[in-house]
Structure 1
Amino acid sequence: MLLLRRSSRSLYLSALCAAGAVAALTPRAAAGAPISTPDLPPCGSPPTPSCLLQQAAALQDWGVNIRRQLHRHPELMYEEERTSALVQEVLTELGIKYTSGWGRDRRSSLVDESLLESSTERGDAEELQELQQQQQQQQRRQQEKTGVIGTGIVGEIGTGEAPCILLRADMDALPIHEQADVAFKSEVDGKMHACGHDSHTTMLLMAAAILKKNEASIKGTVRLVFQPAEEGGQGARMMLEEGLLERNPRPSFALGLHVSPELPTGIFASREGPLMAATGSFHFEIVGVGGHGAMPFQTHDPITACASAVQNINSFVARENDYSANSSGFVSVTQIQAGSAFNVIPSECTLKGTIRAFSNEKLRELQLRLRQVVQRTAEAFRCSLRVRSLYTNTPTLRVHPKALAVFKQAVSAVLPSSRVEGMEPTYGGEDFSFVLDKLPGVFAFIGIGSGGQKAGHVPTSFGLHHPRFALDEEVLHLGAAAEAQFAFDAIRHLLDPQAQEEKLPQQEQKKHEEDL
């Protein structure tokens, strides 16, 4: 983890920060150009969807400025200090109360002991966990010494009473060297916002500005969550363990958005039920007896065992997997490492990879069988298995049907030319699933793919995590409008669910007639 400079440490020690505490909270040198919110056209009470869209459009240039500042200065998981400073500056400028210091890195064991079988494996796991605990203690002592705490932020708008709606954006970047031909490309070698988290953060800040402007019309509470460490760091889980959902009022619905180059700009996609896979990872070492390459009969060759293990993994997945929607899954071996000389058979061979499934139960089944197959293959070649890591990264992400219905209603109202398309589940993982495991909510993709069709615009068709990934920034005000409208509609639904449910079929029928 990147450690804070002492001069900026006070930024992260605030408990509850209201507007006006700018000097202690927002060092402008860290955030880049000053952030000044434009005046928004007034709306009635409650605000109409068309007025919310007008306000979002008025924020477009402001949002582009914020997004480009974030894009120039990408930060990896648990290092989002500058990003957090900028978010806090904007929230303070908007007069939004917030707490900081959320999402400290407290990842524990890399081995789920319930997936182990033999005493040797358990001994290896205990040794690994003891080492990791020592590292964590050292990390905590260093954090206490330097004042470093989490970079996550939680803001609130509204009455402070139920019903409560949670809106979430992730903030971290990726260890990728940017190749996109844009004037505001990453200024940090080997780091890039190649998954659009800079736009997610910006859209939520824009939605926050809209909601704050219309705060008198909010008959409940909107909780804004700016989350660190989505890219494999389980930042959402860290914030949950710190009590994100235990604060009063407890959220009743949650929404997270993610940009997608596979969709036209401003078009959404989601589905009821499992949307994204449960994910796991593994790191095995097959341990044998090394020796001279000319005398393999004197060795217990771990490379041969490793090669057979890969074949057996592929075979058991293919033969035992039911490819129905809720039961499918797979295992991919992505790294094999062994040896350092052409004439030496090594004593160890390393296997690493990922596991994906559309149910938590299927993921666990694959984890158990994977360990069993690799262990018995190793034993067949007179080798042993050492489990270095075997654990779940994220649970299955499931979309709640009522929350999705409210989201579709919101998109239809505020963006009449847009729609929420259906989609097939994806084997990608997303740690917002930790939140949706605890409360009803929606995760939806919003398209950015039309930007490349504009004259002079860089291509926006490159996939997520690609070094030439680029964004159609027109998406910023569209996503912000959808988030703000969802907050209002979800609160209305929770206050009067019967009236809202009667309204939904009418809107669906109207949309169908327009499509015809």
Structure 2
Amino acid sequence: MTSPAARTALDLTSDLPVTALEDLYRDLHRHPELSLREHRTAGKLDERLRMAGYETADGIGGTGVAGVLRNGEGPVVLLRADMDALPVQEETGLPYASETPGLMHACGHDLHVTWLAGAAQALSAGRDTWSGTLLVVGQPAEETGLGAAGMVADGLYERFPRPDVLLGQHAVPGPAGLYGHTPGLILSASTDIDIVVHGVGGHGSRPETAVGPVVTACFLVTRLQTVVSREIAAGEAAVLTVGRIEAGTRPNIIPTEARISLNIRTQSEPVRERMIAAVRRIAAGECAAAGCPREPEVTVGESFPPTVNDPETDRRVAAVHGEVFGTGTILDPGPATASEDFPHLAPDGLPYAYWFVTSTPPDVWDAAPGDDLAEKLAAVTSNHSPRFAPDLSTLTPGIRTLVSGALALLEKA
């Protein structure tokens, strides 16, 4: 038997202005904005929230926007979408591709904002079916890990009611029409680390008079690949990626320093601390072996917390999603090594549910090589790819996930 929340969600989203929402999505995709510069995007969302009857405020935490709809007694439910784009040159060939060179919505946040705008409109139109308070948040700077914490620090929950529960979702690769729910840990923690290797500069023709930091940095990068394979137990999940190495100005000049930036992904604090200690030890060891004049500078930078769903909240939301979309559409992918700053919106242990919405176009999925889900997932473009292009068929389903999830937690009218 279908629950009232599922039936109501289907009713409220059946008359959505799909064409107008598609136009909004295309517009957002054409005009991506980097973290903490999402002024235009925030303005578009703020305008739609006000038109739907929400009390709004912008500029929260820099460029964040929030809207509240008070609708009688009941819980406060927060719905969140992140808004920022990435410094990626788009290669999708879409007719609505980014018009800003070197900048693209390569992670689907434009789709997230459209989902949120549609859900806010549907829930406002159907306010006679539920009771409580909706808090809708357009969050900046998810990609840098600064947006959620920034909004809270800037008084989000002083200006608006503090939520009792939070809901968030993300577009991911996979055959459109699946919804990934994992009770408990669903996303990993992430930590950035910067290393500066100090050498002795000189002429390329006389390396014996210098200490080349580039060579040392190369040994260091190679050695770092052993941290996971040799220092982390096989049953633990961990990833170490060196994403940047910079040094020098000309081929015949030995520079005085080299800079390395890396990222670690972990699912427990002890493993994180062990990896940071290993990075420090290996950096110091390689620099000592090379005869560097100074010890390396190792700086632990921005971090994302692990995303850990409240099991009961996730169970309730997953159950209503199963009713809305049918048997077999809900899967438990287990913890992923990706990271999010969404938990920063839930201080002091506020419960939340966070899930995935698969978004690969059917023709792309069918054409991908592989005989099973894992092989095809490895073949299709993923988030942060210059060719990442979610299918527009996910527009209405992504709105329905938010609407049905909210209705499952709000009081009946």
> When you count strand as a share of all residues, which structure comes out higher?
2
Residue from 293, 297, 307 that aligns with 2:208: 297
SS of structure 1 residue aligned to 2:156: coil
Matched, 1:484 2:411: no
In structure 2, the residue matched to 1:88 is: 46
Residue from 120, 128, 134 that aligns with 1:216: 128
Two-structure CA RMSD over aligned residues (Å): 2.6
In structure 1, the residue matched to 2:248 is: 339
Greater Rg by CA = 1
Q: Distance in 1 between matches of 2:227 and 2:391?
A: 43
| Letter of the 1:360 counterpart | E
- Over 3 Å counting, the alpha-carbon distance change for 1:160 and 1:219 in structure 2 is closer
Which residues of 2 match residues 438-477 of structure 1 at below 5 A?
Answer: 438-452=349-363, 461-477=380-396
The Cα shift of 1:315 comes to 2.6
Which residues of 2 match residues 314-329 of structure 1 at below 5 A?
Answer: 314-324=225-235, 327-329=236-238
Which residues of 2 match residues 82-161 of structure 1 at below 5 A?
Answer: 82-104=40-62, 151-159=63-71
Q: Distance in 1 between matches of 2:26 and 2:214?
A: 48
Q: Deviations over 1:145-186 (max 9, x none)?
A: xxxxxx211111233755211110011112222222332222
In structure 1, the residue matched to 2:198 is: 287
Q: Distance in 1 between matches of 2:286 and 2:365?
A: 55
Q: Distance in 2 between matches of 1:331 and 1:48?
A: 42
The Cα shift of 1:202 comes to 0.7
Contact 1:71–1:192 (CA under 8 A) maintained in structure 2: yes
SS of structure 2 residue aligned to 1:385: coil
Matched, 1:350 2:269: no
With 424-433 and 477-486 compared, the bigger mean Cα shift is at: 424-433
Q: Percent identity?
A: 31
Q: Distance in 2 between matches of 1:80 and 1:238?
A: 14
| Letter of the 1:279 counterpart | S
- Over 3 Å counting, the alpha-carbon distance change for 1:470 and 1:311 in structure 2 is closer
SS of structure 2 residue aligned to 1:79: coil
Q: Distance in 2 between matches of 1:453 and 1:378?
A: 47
Which residues of 2 match residues 171-320 of structure 1 at below 5 A?
Answer: 171-245=83-157, 249-262=161-174, 264-320=175-231
- Over 3 Å counting, the alpha-carbon distance change for 1:451 and 1:93 in structure 2 is farther
| Letter of the 1:426 counterpart | A
Q: TM-score, normalised by structure 2?
A: 0.88
SS of structure 1 residue aligned to 2:387: coil
Q: Deviations over 1:50-106 (max 9, x none)?
A: 3432331321223212111211211111111111111111112111111211122xx
Residue from 54, 62, 66 that aligns with 2:20: 62
- Over 3 Å counting, the alpha-carbon distance change for 1:342 and 1:248 in structure 2 is closer
The Cα shift of 1:244 comes to 3.0
The Cα shift of 1:208 comes to 0.6
Q: Distance in 2 between matches of 1:213 and 1:447?
A: 27
The Cα shift of 1:395 comes to 1.0
Q: Distance in 2 between matches of 1:343 and 1:102?
A: 50
Q: Distance in 1 between matches of 2:152 and 2:270?
A: 22
- Over 3 Å counting, the alpha-carbon distance change for 1:341 and 1:87 in structure 2 is closer
Structure with the greater relative contact order (CA < 8 A, sep ≥ 6): 1 or 2? Answer: 2
Contact 2:180–2:330 (CA under 8 A) maintained in structure 1: yes
Contact 2:67–2:135 (CA under 8 A) maintained in structure 1: yes
In structure 2, the residue matched to 1:391 is: 301
In structure 2, the residue matched to 1:27 is: none
Contact 1:47–1:214 (CA under 8 A) maintained in structure 2: no
- Over 3 Å counting, the alpha-carbon distance change for 1:294 and 1:176 in structure 2 is closer
Q: Deviations over 1:248-298 (max 9, x none)?
A: 642122111111222x22310121222111111122111122223444333
Contact 2:79–2:167 (CA under 8 A) maintained in structure 1: yes
SS of structure 1 residue aligned to 2:197: strand
Contact 2:53–2:69 (CA under 8 A) maintained in structure 1: no
Matched, 1:166 2:78: yes
The Cα shift of 1:436 comes to 4.8
Q: Distance in 1 between matches of 2:309 and 2:158?
A: 21
In structure 1, the residue matched to 2:6 is: 49
- Over 3 Å counting, the alpha-carbon distance change for 1:387 and 1:463 in structure 2 is same
Contact 1:286–1:306 (CA under 8 A) maintained in structure 2: yes
Residue from 319, 326, 350 that aligns with 1:409: 319
In structure 1, the residue matched to 2:376 is: none
Q: TM-score, normalised by structure 1?
A: 0.71
With 279-288 and 48-57 compared, the bigger mean Cα shift is at: 48-57
In structure 2, the residue matched to 1:78 is: 36
The Cα shift of 1:332 comes to 2.0
Q: Deviations over 1:101-135 (max 9, x none)?
A: 1122xxxxxxxxxxxxxxxxxxxxxxxxxxxxxxx
Which residues of 2 match residues 2-21 of structure 1 at below 5 A?
Answer: none
Q: Distance in 1 between matches of 2:380 and 2:286?
A: 43
- Over 3 Å counting, the alpha-carbon distance change for 1:454 and 1:373 in structure 2 is closer
Which 5+ residue runs of structure 1 have no aligned equivalent?
1-45, 105-150, 496-516
- Over 3 Å counting, the alpha-carbon distance change for 1:199 and 1:344 in structure 2 is closer
